[in-house]
Amino acid sequence: MVGRAVTARELILGRLRAALAEPGTAPAEVPRDYRSAGSVAVDLDVLVHRLTDYRAAVHRCAEADVARIVDEVLGHRRVVVPPGLPRHWLPDSVTAVPDDNLTAERIAAVDGVVTAAAVAVAETGTIVLDAAPDQGRRIITLLPDVHVCVLRADQVVATVPDALARVDPHRPLTWISGPSATSDIELNRVEGVHGPRDLHVIITT
Amino acid sequence: MTRSFLGMPATAPPGVGHLRGAEPFPAAARRALSDAQLRRNLGHATTTIRTKSAAVVGEVPDWPQLRAAGRAIKSDTMARLPELLEQLEAAVTAAGGTVHWAADAVEANRIVTDLVREAGADRVMKVKSMATQEIGLNEALEAAGIEPVETDLAELIVQLGDDRPSHILVPAIHRNRAEIREIFLRAMPGVDPALTDEPAALAAAARRHLRETFLSTRVAVSGANFAVAESGTLAVVESEGNGRMCLTLPETLITVMGIEKVIPTWRDLEVFLQLLPRASTGERMNPYTSMWTGVTPGDGPQAFHLVLLDNGRSAVLADPVGREALHCIRCSACLNVCPVYERTGGHAYGSVYPGPIGAVLSPQLTGVADNASLPFASSLCGACYDACPVMIDIPSILVHLRSQAPHPRAEAAAMAAAAYTMDHPALYAAAQRAAKLSRLAGPRGRGLPPPLSGWAASRDLPQPPPRSFRQWWAER
Amino acid sequence: MRVALFVTCLADTLFPQAAMATVRLLERLGHQVVFPEDQTCCGQMHINTGYPDDALRLVRRHVRVFGRYDVVVAPSGSCVGSVRHQHAMVARRAGDERLASRADEIAGRTYELSEFLVDVLGVTDVGAYYPHRVTYHPTCHSLRMLRVGDRPLRLLREVRGLELVELPQAEQCCGFGGTFALKNADTSTAMLADKMRNVLATRADVCTAGDASCLMHIGGGLSRLRAGVRTVHLAEILANTEADPAGERHAAARATPPTGGAR
């Protein structure tokens, strides 16, 4: 092998294999006696508490009343709309800006965004978006300052393991727990940095 | 050169990156200890986060089981690291990403610099990343005429303040709100001169300052919290949304990741996504977690490069005791509970990895001789082990590394002599009778040589008893 | 029960009153105490300072000396912690698997004093009398290596005349850490200062703990401050009775700061 250039890949893998040549490095069994997917009952009140605790605004209503809530939050303002959003969620009072590959600048210039969600975790107050047509590209929930997310009660799961079991790793996933925040100043949580400063969650039953 | 030689585990090279301090820990700590403002800032911040974390950890009924699972997943990962990295590479490549391997900091910096140049960019935006701090990427980019912009609030505070990070999670933990306001007023272009020191106002100032950068920068550099071997999924856990900006808006995304960040399966995330936020920021879940697998047509960056970094990790892996330090998920819980860190702050550790985990990781990445004082920068109180969400036995690794550190010759001789004496009870008893240390030196230890004089500077030496226990027993 | 006293080098040499109190207490409770005179030091200082090779001979000695006893008791969480969590490791590191397994066996029957009283003997009221205001510092190794939990507090709550006051931030390290206090004297001093502030805030007369080493550290600092608070080993409090205040007399004599002669 003398004289042949060794790639970094070969070099690193060779180093790692040499490092593991020491005895006592057998693969380990992983004990999974923690609360796994399906082991905890869903409690919507827990979700509401956890969302509220992290300064998200929570609304509970019938599916038919979504437009009324959106009107309260975003009435008379410009709203980005993902391509697959149910149109009856939008009141006449908002100016819908459909996302047909809008530029970042145009998205940043609108007031809010309305999306659906893929799944929500009650225990952590987390909403997961998976870029399905009713949620749209990741960018549209990032630049506008108000995000209204509509969640069906049957999309709520109890725990993080439940949520991971439901989503597809090959889709871009965004896990959202409350509005943008930082703990960088004296380790106190402050809401509102780069992402939306207002998060509204509408839970439909 | 033969392959077997090339294949030996190697430590991180000197002269690049930020793993080695300029002075030993005790000297750096002494300066930090004399800074009363720093002590107050650190005391306030670490107390706050300890309380928050304890509360949300207490909410989880299966916390011990999650910790045990986290530890086992990491042990398993280390035992299978080569195959998992190959699996990750294949999955990322299949999903449209490009994987690069960097043996050390120099190589990683070159790879990133070349990629930025190929993208035709002269500025990159960065998500907070320990790996890129470790390799000194910002300095390398600047040397190549590329401007790196830190977008994490604390990193921005550090960058604008021409400062060094002092905490894994909150690099500006050593600054309070008043100091941050001063830095912004001094160094942030176009800042409102009426800026107050309210944290919300400071955060809003950062939002305005960085918005244009997010919208116009074509290349971003990130780290990674997790990389799933079986799916090729990368995960970045953050709070502010700057991570989402960097991972979503640019044309090209370059992720630099230590090779130990790989985890075997998608399901394994269910353990770490519960452990990390609660141990780290003391939240049930951090505001934003982004996960992506390669490239998604029409959504987010259309070019994705993953740089797998060794830079001493293979050397850590080679030590069956020390390799547990590679289990670290960078939550910084050990810093927040450490009585030494709380008083000295992060700069005293020299390396970008401060606190208890830094004291075991940095010396192993560089070789113990290059960070010889760090394994001793602990009272071995064990609070770090209890706080660690993946149960890294930091005290035992510290003790293990102390045996590898170069010892002062006089100390080694004294230790050998003491062991010899203690292995001979008659000599030992005689030494006890002779050892009227404080009678010789006085209670303030004025006659003592260092290091005993250091101890006696602020404590009285115990008065030697009239007789030892064994004398009492013998006379009983 | 026949109990072998593992005295620890520090108590033997500098704090014999803690060891003597342990003997008086166990004998008062009706047990036979033996003192294997060939014992010296468990080697913890060597291990924790990075000298496991030097420590090996001390581990070997400890195993040889204590191997023949059914029960070993020490008035120290730290030294029992070393026996339990380090001795076998030192032996294995040296490739001596036989020594390691013997060390593990001995570790299994070695107890810190409060563990022995509460878990093995099943007593919390040891008949002690100690009419003082006392605060308890849980030493790091007893707390986190041995997990003695509230055992010492349960023992102290049963002591007649004793007023127990809670120590703020009790679980914070006092800053001793063996040679840490020498190698990082400034940081150690800063930690000690906070510990002393908390001790003084309790307005206790006595600060107690299960380790002579930490008490030496805290006591050395308090003495320098002329704070008027004494440090007394848990064994001394538990050994003290109305009928036999020997421990108390001894403690009072010791409580005079080491500088007492000059006052």
3-state secondary structure chain B: CCHHHHCCCCCCCCCCCCCCCCCCHHHHHHHHHCCHHHHHHHHHHHHHHHHHHHHHHHCCCCHHHHHHHHHHHHHHHHHCHHHHHHHHHHHHHHCCCEEEEECCHHHHHHHHHHHHHHCCCCEEEECCCHHHHHCCHHHHHHHCCCEEEECCHHHHHHHHCCCCCCCCCCCCCCCCHHHHHHHHHHHCCCCCCCCCCCHHHHHHHHHHHHHHHHHHCCEEEECCCEEECCCCEEEEEECCCHHHHHHHCCCEEEEEEEHHHEECCHHHHHHHHHHHHHHHCCCCCCCEEEEEECCECCECCCEEEEEEECCCHHHHHCCCCHHHHHHCCCCCHHHHHCHHHHHHCCHHHCCCCCHHHHHHHHHHHHCHHHHCCHHHCCCCCCHHHHHCCCCCCHHHHHHHHHCCCCCCHHHHHHHHHHHHHHCCHHHHHHHHHHCCHHHHHCCCCCCCCCCHHHHHCCCCCCCCCCCCHHHHHHHC
Find, among A90, A70, A53, the residue nearest to A189 by Cα. Answer: A53
Q: What's the gap in Å between the CA of B82 and the closest CA on chain C?
A: 27
A185 and B177 Cβ atoms separated by less than 8 Å: yes
Q: What's the gap in Å between the CA of C47 and the closest CA on chain B?
A: 7
pLDDT (average), residues B325-336:
97
Count A/B contacts: CB-CB distance under 8 Å: 281
Q: Using the beta-carbon criterion (under 8 Å), do B470 and C177 form an inter-chain contact?
A: no
Whether B2 has a pLDDT exceeding 70, the answer reads: no
Interface of B with C in 337-356 (CB under 8 A): 339-340, 343-344
pLDDT (average), residues B300-306:
98
Q: Using the beta-carbon criterion (under 8 Å), do B381 and C177 form an inter-chain contact?
A: yes
Q: For the domain with range A41-204, which CATH number is right: 3.40.640.10, 3.40.50.10420, 3.40.50.300, 3.30.930.10?
A: 3.40.50.10420
Whether B215 has a pLDDT exceeding 80, the answer reads: yes
Interface of B with C in 434-473 (CB under 8 A): 435, 438, 443-444, 451-452, 454-455, 457-465, 467-470, 472-473
Where are the strands (E) in C6-132, listed by range?
Answer: 32-34, 72-74, 110-112
B330 versus B454: the higher-pLDDT residue is B330
CA-CA distance, B221 to B234, in Å (whole number)? Answer: 13
pLDDT of residue A191: 83
pLDDT of residue B463: 79
Interface of C with B in 193-222 (CB under 8 A): 216-217, 219-221
CA-CA distance, B327 to B76, in Å (whole number)? Answer: 10
- Residue B180's closest chain A neighbor by CA? A185
- Residue C178's closest chain B neighbor by CA? B379
pLDDT of residue C227: 87
Amino acid at B7: G
Q: Using the beta-carbon criterion (under 8 Å), do B288 and A12 form an inter-chain contact?
A: no
Q: What's the gap in Å between the CA of A120 and the closest CA on chain B?
A: 12
**In DSSP terms, which residues pair with A174 in a beta bridge?**
A129, B290
Which chain B residues contact residue C10 at CB under 8 A? none
pLDDT of residue A4: 65
| DSSP annotation of A174 | E
Residues in CB range of B234: below 8 A, 6 or more apart:
B92, B224, B226, B227, B228, B255, B257, B291, B292, B293, B306
Whether B110 has a pLDDT exceeding 50, the answer reads: yes
- Residue C18's closest chain B neighbor by CA? B469
Q: Using the beta-carbon criterion (under 8 Å), do B44 and A28 form an inter-chain contact?
A: no
Which chain B residues contact residue A11 at CB under 8 A? 6-7, 101, 103
Give the phi and the psi of residue C33 in degrees, each rounded to 5: -105, 130
A199 and A76 Cβ atoms separated by less than 8 Å: no
Amino acid at C30: G
Q: Which residues in chain C come in under a pLDDT of 70? A: 246-263
CA-CA distance, C215 to C78, in Å (whole number)? Answer: 12
Q: What's the gap in Å between the CA of B360 and the closest CA on chain C?
A: 14
Listed by start position, the domains of chain B span 80-151+218-311, 159-215, 412-475
Q: Using the beta-carbon criterion (under 8 Å), do B462 and C14 form an inter-chain contact?
A: yes
For chains C and A, tell me whether 3 or more CB atom pairs sit within 8 A of each other.
no
Per residue in A150-168, pLDDT (tens digit) is: 999 999 999 999 999 999 9
Listed by start position, the domains of chain A span 41-204
Listed by start position, the domains of chain C span 2-119, 124-262
Find, among B400, B252, B376, the residue nearest to B325 by Cα. Answer: B400
Chains sharing 3 or more CB pairs under 8 A with chain A: B
Per residue in C80-138, pLDDT (tens digit) is: 999 999 999 999 999 999 999 999 999 999 999 999 999 999 999 999 999 999 999 99
pLDDT (average), residues A107-135:
98
Q: Using the beta-carbon criterion (under 8 Å), do B62 and A35 form an inter-chain contact?
A: yes
Which chain C residues contact residue B462 at CB under 8 A? 14-15, 216, 219-220, 258
CA-CA distance, B467 to B456, in Å (whole number)? Answer: 23
| DSSP annotation of C62 | H
Whether B451 has a pLDDT exceeding 90, the answer reads: no
Which chain A residues contact residue B239 at CB under 8 A? 180-184, 193
Q: Using the beta-carbon criterion (under 8 Å), do A2 and B2 form an inter-chain contact?
A: yes
Give me A178's structure tokens: 């409350």
Which chain B residues contact residue A161 at CB under 8 A? 267, 270
Q: Using the beta-carbon criterion (under 8 Å), do A31 and B281 form an inter-chain contact?
A: no
Amino acid at C158: E
| Chain B interface, best mutation among A4, A10, A12, A137, by max B CB count within 10 A | A12
Give the whole-number percent of chain A exceeding pLDDT 70. Answer: 97
Interchain contact C188–B (C-beta under 8 A)? yes
Nearest to C48 among B39, B399, B404 (CB): B399
3-state secondary structure A53-75: HCCCEEEEECHHHHHHHHHHHHC
Q: How confident is the model at residue B217 (pLDDT cuts 50, 70, 90)?
A: very high
Interchain contact C257–B (C-beta under 8 A)? yes
Which chain B residues contact residue C23 at CB under 8 A? 473
Q: Is the dihedral of CA A160, A165, A166, A168 positive or negative?
A: positive
pLDDT (average), residues B142-162:
95
pLDDT of residue B76: 96
Q: How confident is the model at residue A199 (pLDDT cuts 50, 70, 90)?
A: very high
CA-CA distance, A144 to A151, in Å (whole number)? Answer: 19
Q: Using the beta-carbon criterion (under 8 Å), do A175 and B66 form an inter-chain contact?
A: no
Give the whole-number percent of chain A exceeding pLDDT 90. Answer: 83
Per residue in A23-67, pLDDT (tens digit) is: 666 777 899 999 999 999 999 999 999 999 999 999 999 999 999
Count B/C contacts: CB-CB distance under 8 Å: 197
Q: Using the beta-carbon criterion (under 8 Å), do C223 and B380 form an inter-chain contact?
A: no
CA-CA distance, A90 to A146, in Å (whole number)? Answer: 15
Q: What's the gap in Å between the CA of B448 and the closest CA on chain A?
A: 42
Q: What is the mean pLDDT of chain B?
A: 93
Nearest to C12 among B39, B451, B470 (CB): B470
Q: Using the beta-carbon criterion (under 8 Å), do C187 and B425 form an inter-chain contact?
A: no
pLDDT of residue B6: 62
CA-CA distance, B264 to B266, in Å (whole number)? Answer: 7
pLDDT of residue A192: 79
Q: pTM for the complete prediction? A: 0.94
B337 and B387 Cβ atoms separated by less than 8 Å: yes
pLDDT (average), residues B120-127:
97
Q: Using the beta-carbon criterion (under 8 Å), do C175 and B339 form an inter-chain contact?
A: yes
CATH class of B80-151+218-311: alpha beta
Interchain contact B35–C (C-beta under 8 A)? no
CA-CA distance, B307 to B316, in Å (whole number)? Answer: 19
Helix (H, G, I), strand (E, B) or coil at A119: strand
CATH number of C124-262: 3.40.50
CA-CA distance, B125 to B254, in Å (whole number)? Answer: 10
Is the predicted ipTM greater than 0.90, yes or no?
yes
